[in-house]
């Protein structure tokens, strides 16, 4: 292959790094009105009165919008396909605020100072209500967070707002209760995972104007431009045909920009003022008023026989979706559907749970999307089971984990909010990933611990799987246009957010057309000019969008061969296509791609060649990985240090190995952050304590000193040139692998993330007392 598997630098990399105009705020009209949102100081309150006190008469204040300016249309901001599996429970603005940081009203003025002056003099009277701040007490709480009659589910998801339940689910294979009775050993434990903030470096921002055709143009830092168009149209009851959404360059997303945030208020103000306007979130707003990862309590029960055969598997989850139900059901389901099938040889499985409303900042999509939560609980519990079984935890996994050619009934039962899709593992080198990881970690020399005075090093591991898009739902498409001088425009709906999709998808097009990468000029994510794509989420871009681009490339190649045959006056079977040069097989005639382009545009048989390609997955082939952590614990202070992390990943073909490596390393560090450092902390009034980078600690380059990442040599037949996904898989294993390593070092199991020194020391002291 001439372009696939090569480390091409990101096509937009140099421009972005040297400060060329590209990100959303760079594109805002310099005269834009500035929008500022007044946000709720209360976790749960009814707005009884808004007194503008003349704020709307301040010269330079152009517009103030409150809930009274909107029809009551309930939407979900989730940014998912339609109909969404998330409840429609959000209004652009409402007369009830449901978390600290929820929107009360918005002001647009000619500068920020006037916005702030206006916000300062506006008086809002609230009737403060008792908030639900403990998600384990949400069901049956006297406060009902969503009692609005307009709220609804789009199809049955177990939505019961009167009980503070956003969604609920249960599934069952076999009879777990009976099977547990037959097991030699049964373990049961509850695990808690915390809210994690995305902390992408570019805050959420969007800007808009009304064009000369009276259409609303929105530039927004989003992962889902087509969903933004649909949701804005629905929420504002405005024709979708009159909205154009462009996603410029994006400074990181990780799921945090899948959902709609400032766009609704922005669009309303642009339509009202008909002036260019923009909204740029403060970092505090990013923390408090967008989304974070759903916190969960995960109850795991596992049963096995003495010979290490796993028999039964029972998982119950209580998930906290916060004030609104975006991604409530689907994140929860992925905690099962991307974890349970790893142990596919069990006789019975049960997966149940509720996703509850609280008055916290809402949960939303975040890289890993439930799988990281489920992985921490299950992979921690597997080690607990092995301890009771007196069975080696690596050998236990090797004996029970999924392998090539195998399947799991879970695939068919559980999708994302709907039923799933049956599939067999046509590529799976999880066994290799484990073996190779053991070697790289020098496991046999280090397991379980190496003591050096009061400092003890331990190793731990976990395995993981993810998906590659949502089958039968996620659709992507691509258009290739052939130009004079023999180069191509690649138009794709797919959403480059820093992960390198513009580059990788260009490589796929270049490969299909056998041309160098510089012959492909990529343009992505413009709802007027590029074809549809669901967006950058669910680990779908390489697999789903990649297949769409390959289909378009294959089609374009056929068109070029046909035109060359026409030029030469021969049958297409006589054509030898080499990309930059097209010949007859007998070598008697040839034409360069550039000349063919010029001929078709200017000289003879004139026409514009355009090829399109679409793709919707028939399955979601999982990438797999094995993760190994080595930690050092100071037994006197509890201080834990990550010494090394080894990851061996099966993601099919690495289309661009450097970019794939970046995805895994970046995912690992976010996973390590969740495992050891990061936690959204909320005080007794419901306000975030960790609403800035001083208090919310993401890993710096001082914490991450050693990682080893390798890829298994695999090929997924259904993927473009053998690729599966690689965007999320890297994040899943660190919490469990690090928890298991801490146990192997000092014999204490931390079941509540993050694994801090304080918790480790507390457990060490407790274990000494016993």
Is the N-terminal amide bond of 448 cis, ω within 30° of 0?
yes
658 contributes a contact to another protein by CB under 8 A:
yes
Point out which span in 91-99, 147-155, 487-495, 655-663 binds another protein (CB under 8 A): 655-663
The Cα–Cα gap between 615 and 621 comes to 15
Q: Please report, as residue ranges, which positions from 45 to 84 form the binding site for another protein (by CB under 8 A).
A: none
Q: Does 247 bind another protein (CB under 8 A)?
A: no
Part of the chain binding another protein (CB under 8 A), chosen from 314-322, 352-360, 694-702, 756-764:
694-702
Query: Is 23 a binder of another protein (CB under 8 A)?
Result: yes
Task: Cite the beta strand spans of 572-719 per DSSP E.
Answer: 575-577, 581-584, 590-592, 610-616, 624-634, 640-650, 707-711
Nearest to 103 by CA among 339, 265, 224, 255: 265
Binding flag, residue 543, another protein (CB under 8 A): no
Of 222 and 319, which CB lies nearer to another protein in the complex structure? Answer: 222
Judged by CB under 8 A, which of 1, 2, 20, 765 binds another protein? 20
Say which DSSP state 32 is in. P
Of 101, 111, 86, give the one whose Cα is nearest residue 38: 101
**Pick 29 or 595: Cβ nearer another protein:** 29
Residues 6+ apart with CB under 8 A from 585: 574, 575, 576
How many residues at the interface with another protein, by CB under 8 A?
Answer: 60
Q: Which range, of 351-359, 421-429, 679-687, 697-705, touches another protein by CB under 8 A? A: 697-705
Q: Does 37 bind another protein (CB under 8 A)?
A: no
**Shortest Å, Cβ 487 to another protein:** 22
* Shortest CB 8 distance to another protein, Å: 9
Minimal CA–CA distance to 102: which of 687, 682, 694, 692? 687
Residue showing tokens 């916000």:
119
Nearest distance, CB of residue 399 and another protein, angstroms? 32
CB of 591 to another protein, least distance (A): 35
Taking the least distance from each CB to another protein, the nearer of 414 and 672 is 672
By the 8 A CB rule, do 760 and 738 touch?
A: no
Return the range that interacts with another protein (CB under 8 A); candidates 3-11, 114-122, 300-308, 627-635: 3-11
Q: Which of 1, 2, 14, 767 binds another protein (CB under 8 A)?
A: 14
123-128 sheet: strands from edge to edge: 96-97, 45-51, 123-128
Q: Distance between CA atoms of 243 and 229, rounded to whole angstroms?
A: 6
Give whichever of 168 and 499 is closer to another protein, judged by the CB atom.
Answer: 499
Residue 282 Cβ, how far from another protein at the closest point, in Å?
A: 6
Is residue 659 a contact point for another protein (CB under 8 A)? yes
**H, E, C per residue of 42-71:** CCCEEEEEEECCCHHHCCCEEEEECHHHCC
Residue (30 or 59) nearer to another protein, CB: 30
To another protein, the closest distance from the beta carbon of 647 in angstroms equals 10
CA dihedral (385, 387, 388, 389) positive or negative: positive
Which listed residue (109, 346, 626, 668) binds another protein by CB under 8 A? 668
Residue 673 vs residues 258, 296, 646, 652: alpha-carbon distances, Å: 21, 17, 16, 27
Region at 405 (left for phi over 0; alpha for psi -120 to 50; beta for the rest): left
Which structure tokens are listed for 515?
């041309």
Residues 6+ apart with CB under 8 A from 230: 82, 240
Nearest approach, Cβ of residue 669 and another protein (Å): 4
Smallest distance from the beta carbon of 25 to another protein, in angstroms? 8
Contact yes or no for 608/588 (Cβ under 8 A): no
629 forms part of the interface with another protein (CB under 8 A)? no
CB of 222 to another protein, least distance (A): 14
Q: Does 16 bind another protein (CB under 8 A)?
A: yes
- Of 249-268, binders to another protein (CB under 8 A) are 249-252, 254
Euclidean distance between CA atoms 424 and 428, whole angstroms: 10
According to DSSP, the β-strands at 277-280 and 33-39 are parallel
Query: In whole angstroms, what is the distance from residue 504 CA to residue 499 CA?
Result: 9
Among 68, 137, 182, 283, binds another protein (CB under 8 A): 283
CA distance 167 to 171: 14
Cα of 603 vs its chain's centroid, Å: 48
Binding mask 485-524 for another protein (x = CB under 8 A): ------------xxxx------------------------
What is the closest distance, in whole angstroms, from the C-beta atom of residue 318 to another protein in the complex? 29
Burial (CB < 10 A; 0-12, 13-18, 19+), residue 737, is buried
- Compare residues 86 and 258 and give the one whose CB is closer to another protein: 258
Distance, CA of 18 to chain centre: 27
Judged by beta carbon, residue 91 or residue 254, the one nearer another protein is: 254
Q: Is 666 in the site for another protein (CB under 8 A)?
A: yes
Q: How far apart (Å, rounded) are the C-alpha atoms in residues 271 and 217?
A: 10
Region binding another protein by CB under 8 A among candidate stretches 12-20, 96-104, 326-334, 465-473: 12-20
Using the Cα atoms of residue 355, residue 357, residue 358 and residue 363 in order, give the sign of their dihedral.
Answer: positive
* Per CB under 8 A, 625 contacts another protein: no
Among 95, 143, 273, 282, binds another protein (CB under 8 A): 282
Q: Is 632 in the site for another protein (CB under 8 A)?
A: no
Are the beta carbons of 335 and 374 closer than 8 angstroms?
Answer: yes
Q: Is the Cβ–Cβ distance between 543 and 717 less than 8 Å?
A: no
End-to-end CA distance of the chain: 62
Applying CB under 8 A, which part among 150-158, 201-209, 293-301, 344-352 lies near another protein? 201-209
Block residue for tokens 């470096």? 201
Residue among 14 and 562 whose Cβ is closer to another protein: 14
Does 694 bind another protein (CB under 8 A)? Our answer is yes
Q: Please identify, among the stretches 74-82, 195-203, 516-524, 607-615, the one whose residues bind another protein according to the rule CB under 8 A.
A: 195-203
Binding piece for another protein, criterion CB under 8 A, among 25-33, 187-195, 425-433, 525-533 = 25-33
Closest CA to 66 of 277, 347, 265: 265
Nearest CA-CA partner of 593 in 510, 507, 479, 504 = 510
Tell me which of 692, 758, 765, 767 binds another protein, using CB under 8 A: 692
Please give the structure tokens belonging to residue 98: 């449901």
Report the nearest approach of another protein to the CB of residue 253 (Å).
Answer: 8
E strand or H helix at 701: none
Told to check if 21 binds another protein by CB under 8 A, we report yes
d(CA 554, CA 512): 6
Per-residue mark of binding to another protein, 705-734 (x: CB under 8 A): x-x---------------------------
101 counts as binding another protein under rule CB under 8 A: no
Piece of the chain touching another protein by CB under 8 A; list 42-50, 151-159, 275-283, 414-422: 275-283
Segment interacting with another protein (CB under 8 A) among 8-16, 307-315, 337-345, 518-526: 8-16
Each residue 404-443 as x (binds another protein by CB under 8 A) or -, in order, gives ----------------------------------------
Kindly state the smallest distance separating residue 757's Cβ from another protein, in Å: 19
Q: Which residues bind another protein (CB under 8 A)?
A: 7, 9-10, 12-14, 16-23, 25-26, 30, 113, 198-203, 249-252, 254, 280, 282-284, 497-500, 656-659, 661-662, 665-670, 692-694, 698-702, 704-705, 707
């Amino acid at each position: 292959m001439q372009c696939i598997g090569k480390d091409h630098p990101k096509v937009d990399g140099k421009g972005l790094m040297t400060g060329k105009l590209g990100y959303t705020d760079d594109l805002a009209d310099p005269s834009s009105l500035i929008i500022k949102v007044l946000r709720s100081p209360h976790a749960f309150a009814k707005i009884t009165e808004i007194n503008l006190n003349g704020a709307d008469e301040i010269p330079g204040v152009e517009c103030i919008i409150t809930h009274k300016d909107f029809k009551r249309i309930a939407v979900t901001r989730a940014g998912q396909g339609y109909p969404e599996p998330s409840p429609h429970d959000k209004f652009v603005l409402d007369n009830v605020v449901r978390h600290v940081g929820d929107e009360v009203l918005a002001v647009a003025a000619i500068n920020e100072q006037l916005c702030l002056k206006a916000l300062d003099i506006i008086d809002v009277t609230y009737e403060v209500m008792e908030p639900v701040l403990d998600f384990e007490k949400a069901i049956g709480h006297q406060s009902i967070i969503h009692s609005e009659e307009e709220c609804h589910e789009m199809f049955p998801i177990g939505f019961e707002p009167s009980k503070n339940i956003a969604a609920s689910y249960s599934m069952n294979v076999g009879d777990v209760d009976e099977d547990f009775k037959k097991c030699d050993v049964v373990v049961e434990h509850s695990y808690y995972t915390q809210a994690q903030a995305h902390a992408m470096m570019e805050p959420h921002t969007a800007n808009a104007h009304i064009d000369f055709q009276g259409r609303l143009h929105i530039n927004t830092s989003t992962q889902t431009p087509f969903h933004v168009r649909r949701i804005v149209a629905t929420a504002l009851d405005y024709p979708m045909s009159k909205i154009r959404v462009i996603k410029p360059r994006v400074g990181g997303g990780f799921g945090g920009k899948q959902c709609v945030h400032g766009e609704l208020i922005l669009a309303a103000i642009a339509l009202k003022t008909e002036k260019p306007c923009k909204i740029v979130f403060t970092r505090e707003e990013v923390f408090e008023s967008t989304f974070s990862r759903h916190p969960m309590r995960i109850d795991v029960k596992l049963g096995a026989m003495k010979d290490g055969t796993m028999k039964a598997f029972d998982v119950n989850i209580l998930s906290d979706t916060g004030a609104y139900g975006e991604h409530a059901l689907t994140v929860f389901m992925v905690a099962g559907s991307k974890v349970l099938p790893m142990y596919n040889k069990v006789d019975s499985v049960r997966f149940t749970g509720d996703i509850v409303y609280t008055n916290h900042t809402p949960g939303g999509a975040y890289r890993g999307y439930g799988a990281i939560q489920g992985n921490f609980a299950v992979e921690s519990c597997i080690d607990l089971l092995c301890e009771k079984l007196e069975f080696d935890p690596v050998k236990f996994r090797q004996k029970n984990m999924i392998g090539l050619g195998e399947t799991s009934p879970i695939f068919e039962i559980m999708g994302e909010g709907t039923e799933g899709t049956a599939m067999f593992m046509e590529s799976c080198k999880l066994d290799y990933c484990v073996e190779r990881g053991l070697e790289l970690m020098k496991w046999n020399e280090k397991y379980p611990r190496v003591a050096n005075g009061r400092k003890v090093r331990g190793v731990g591991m976990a395995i993981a799987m993810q998906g590659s898009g949502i089958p039968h739902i996620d659709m992507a498409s691509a258009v290739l246009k052939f130009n004079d001088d023999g180069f191509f425009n690649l138009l794709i709906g797919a959403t480059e957010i820093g992960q390198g999709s513009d580059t990788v998808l260009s490589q796929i097009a270049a490969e299909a057309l056998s041309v160098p990468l510089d012959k492909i000029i990529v343009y992505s994510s413009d709802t007027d000019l590029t074809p549809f794509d669901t967006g950058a989420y669910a680990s779908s871009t390489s697999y789903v969008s990649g297949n769409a681009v390959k289909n378009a490339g294959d089609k374009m190649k056929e068109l070029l061969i046909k035109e060359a045959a026409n030029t030469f006056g021969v049958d297409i079977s006589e054509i030898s296509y080499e990309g930059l040069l097209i010949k007859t097989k007998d070598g008697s005639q040839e034409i360069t791609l550039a000349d063919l382009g010029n001929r078709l545009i200017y000289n003879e048989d004139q026409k514009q060649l355009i090829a399109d390609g679409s793709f919707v997955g028939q399955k979601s082939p999982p990438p797999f990985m094995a993760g190994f952590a080595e930690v050092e614990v100071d037994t006197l202070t509890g201080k834990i240090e990550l010494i090394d992390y080894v990851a061996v990943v099966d993601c099919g073909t690495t289309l661009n190995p450097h970019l794939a490596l970046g995805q895994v390393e970046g995912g690992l560090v976010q996973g390590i952050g969740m495992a050891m450092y990061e936690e959204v902390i909320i005080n007794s009034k419901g306000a975030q304590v960790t609403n800035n980078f001083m208090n919310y600690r993401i890993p710096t380059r001082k914490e991450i000193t050693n990682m080893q990442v390798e890829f298994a040599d695999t090929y997924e037949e259904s993927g473009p040139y053998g690729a599966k996904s690689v965007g999320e898989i890297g994040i899943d294993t660190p919490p469990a692998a690090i928890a298991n390593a801490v146990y192997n070092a000092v014999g204490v199991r931390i079941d509540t993330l993050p694994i801090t020194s304080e918790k480790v020391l507390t457990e060490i002291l407790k274990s000494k007392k016993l």
